[in-house]
Amino acid sequence: MTQRAGIEPGGPEPGRGAGSGSAAIDAGAELDPVHPVRPPAPRFRPGGLTTAEVAERLARGDVNDVPVRSSRSTVDIVRANVFTRFNAIIGVLWVVMLFVAPLQDSLFGYVIIANTGIGIIQEMRAKKTLDSLAVIGETKPSVRRDGSTAEISTSEIVLDDVIELGPGDKVVVDGVVGEADGLEIDESLLTGEADPVLKKPGDPVMSGSFVVAGGGALTATKVGREAYAAQLAEEATRFTLVHSELRSGISTVLKYVTWMMIPTSVGLVISQLVVKDSNLKDSLARTVGGIVPMIPEGLVLLTSVAFAIGVIRLGRKQCLVQELPAIEGLARVDVVCLDKTGTLTEGGMDVTELRPLGGAEPPYVKKVLGALGESDPRPNASLQAIIDAYPDSAEWRCTESLPFSSARKYSGASFSEGDGENSTWLLGAPDVLLPAGDPALDEIDDLNEQGLRVLLLARASRELDDASVAAGARPTALIVLEQRLRPDAADTLRYFEDQKVHAKVISGDNAVSVGAVAGKLGLPGAENTVDARRLPPEPHEMAAVLDENAVFGRVTPQQKRDMVGALQSKGHTVAMTGDGVNDVLALKDADIGVSMGSGSEATRAVAQIVLLNNSFSTLPSVVAEGRRVIGNITRVATLFLTKTVYSVLLAILVVCWGVDYPFLPRHLTLLSTLTIGVPAFFLALAPNKERARPHFVRRVMRYAVPGGAIAAVATFVTYLLARHHYTGADALKAETSAATLTLFLVSTWILAIIARPYTWWRIALVGAMGGTFLVVLVVPWLQDFFQLRLVGTQMPWIAVAAAASAAALIEFVFHWVDRRFPA
């Protein structure tokens, strides 16, 4: 797994394969699985293309012009908000009303136009936020041109460009390896095979894979829509990858509403136009008045607006939500798996102590460390701290290198020393390089218990390309590193504890060291650490250990993935945070993946949420935003569907009794606006820390069905009593007014229940809606506009009494539902 220094680039050796998963790499030619024959590799040019050659390729369109889709297009947003099933129904009814009824009865159409416009504007604002953040968070690959290296946008890459690769880099175009220095590529996101593939010059690589160890360079052979990853992206866009229980639940509700509407509407039309011998225009108006409120037209709109505003709010905190429903997903999370490095600690480290072992001389040890630092062109945080502390003296020449791998936990290099002597050195985890029971481990445990990170420098007695190179290595020195804790990590962990979200620290570092860091941050259970090498392989047994403990060390990348799967098998909704390439597999499999903005390109590519400011403290804001959206939409969905239920039942009762429908469209527009539309808008955007719970449809319908049924019966009883009480030319207006009063009072009571727990502004909101309705009843021109006038005193008080009885019954039923069908 090593690469000789100074290797000349060129084609592959005869008969050499590319390793696991490589046969499918070339997206063009079909390959014989038994005797693979590759198309000839392009000539590798170490200095890259010239400016003239780049211009030539740009002119003929050989450029990586795949658009980055961080959100829906403008056309998609407009289409989704305008061309809906219910908008089509309402549009037809609106046109009918414009011809047969006064303007007042057509108000519902203007309300729909206004609501749809608001939805489009909010989603466009969210799109603008997403797109701008996507540009900020875009990684720029290093490309060689005219003999020098520069970072450019992925959309500027042209055919035959030479692209440099290092640990954590994502392969952005299809290509052929030209240089390789221990280059290991993970193709699991494309092939499903988790084992990294060692790549050599001449081997093909696919876009969408990423580098886990080593480095090198490739020549771009397929760019733009011809690249493999681009072809996959066309099959599923980012916008809809995450499952949204909220949206699927609303879709389920709307499907059933549609089936209820059809027979009810037909019966109402026949009842009002055929059975009742009345004025045609008035019958049409009342028929439309019965159909329109059955449609929960604002529910889908309000959900889109809530998501959009959530994206805008998080965008202001430098949080890129790559898939909108991810806001909802993180709010449902009950376990969050945290990678220590880069999440609980900052990326940088400092060398605090150097402890020579076995009589090694400190100056010699420092020289070895300086040479090791120079041997790796793309050092990780640990090696960078060593480089900063012990710069290279340039006396030794590196002849062979072994890049660091999170799977094996060490790196290495062979040197030709200044006096002609050759030596091989390993640098990595002491408990991996040393055998169990080694005396040096006791000293290391004491340091780990203080939260310090310890690396072992060991001299190997075997060749670097020997699979057992670590066996028999002689310990030479301990390098003690101090990790910088994130100042906001403790508060964030405390937030998760308060919210009953279990935090699990999963790290590749020593378990005791990880536990010490977690303990400093106040993580519950940090004192009980688990070495992942002793975890049971069976998912069920592993899940039991994961449930009982909070800190895990020496976790391999594949184990991280297995741990996420084990937690999910126990019914947990799992979020995974990370910034390193070793986190990619777990991020991909978790319900929600969260990446740091400074992390590798591979982690940002698979994560649904990217914290561009690298601030762990942003996570509570994302959780809170998701809970606000879900909790509030659940509240307001009850209002919308209660209206649907009472509208359907009222229509059925009217058909069965053979009477005029009690309401004109203007009446129900007024009621919907005051008891649903305006309050729902404010309630949907209010703070809400209630933990998200599953079974959205069941939780909404358990209130909407009894609430709507009681409201319909109370209103219809009042209407029937009013029909017997009033006589004369204006009897129908008086009957409608009494029924409207009852329905408004019952609906307002349901609104008051939904608005609990009360705050000053919620009380003011309910009071303002009641005050507005009172104004309509007492101002003469509003009475005429809405055709509402309470006649006498007896019938209005009967209407109030019916509403009070219904309100009391609703309170009783809701309490019974809470006990009988808990959420």
User: In Å, how far are 65, 608, 634, 720, 821 from 647, measured between CA atoms?
Assistant: 52, 40, 20, 16, 25
H/E run at residue 76: helix 74-82
HEC readout, 184-244:
EEECHHHHCCCCCEECCCCCEECECEEEEEEEEEEEEEECHHHCHHHHHHHHCCHHHCCCC
Q: Report how far residue 810's alpha carbon sits from residue 808's, in angstroms, rounded to the nearest whole number.
A: 5
Strand pairing partners for 63?
A: 158
CA torsion sign for 272, 276, 281, 286 is negative
Residue 280 exposed, middle or buried by CB count within 10 Å (0-12, 13-18, 19+): exposed
Amino acid (one-letter) located at 373: G
H/E run at residue 663: none
Q: How far is CA 77 from the centre of its chain?
A: 20
Cβ-Cβ contacts under 8 Å for 90 (sequence gap 6 or more): 108, 109, 112, 292, 295, 297
Selection from 177, 179, 173, 187 nearest residue 222 by Cα: 173
Q: What are phi and psi of 100, to 5 degrees?
A: -115, -5
Phi-psi region of 362 (alpha: psi -120 to 50; beta: other; left: phi over 0): alpha
| Cβ neighbours of 462 (radius 10 Å) | 14
Selection from 428, 442, 453, 439 nearest residue 358 by Cα: 439
C-beta of residue 755 within 8 angstroms of C-beta of residue 770 = no
339 a catalytic residue: yes
Selection from 246, 317, 305 nearest residue 620 by Cα: 317
3-state secondary structure of 388: helix
User: What string of DSSP letters covers 550-605?
Assistant: SEEES--HHHHHHHHHHHHHTT--EEEEE-SGGGHHHHHHSSEEEEETTS-HHHHH
Q: Report how far residue 784's alpha carbon sits from residue 666's, in angstroms, rounded to the nearest whole number.
A: 11
Q: Where are the beta strands (DSSP E) in 357-473?
A: 397-405, 410-416, 422-428, 453-460
C-beta of residue 654 within 8 angstroms of C-beta of residue 290 = yes
Angle at 484 between CA 167 and CA 410, to 5 degrees: 40
Which residue carries 């959009």 as its tokens?
308
Catalytic residue among 169, 339, 431, 589: 339
Q: Report how far residue 175's alpha carbon sits from residue 228's, in angstroms, rounded to the nearest whole number.
A: 10
C-beta of residue 653 within 8 angstroms of C-beta of residue 617 = no
Q: How far is CA 194 from the centre of its chain?
A: 23
Catalytic residue set = 339
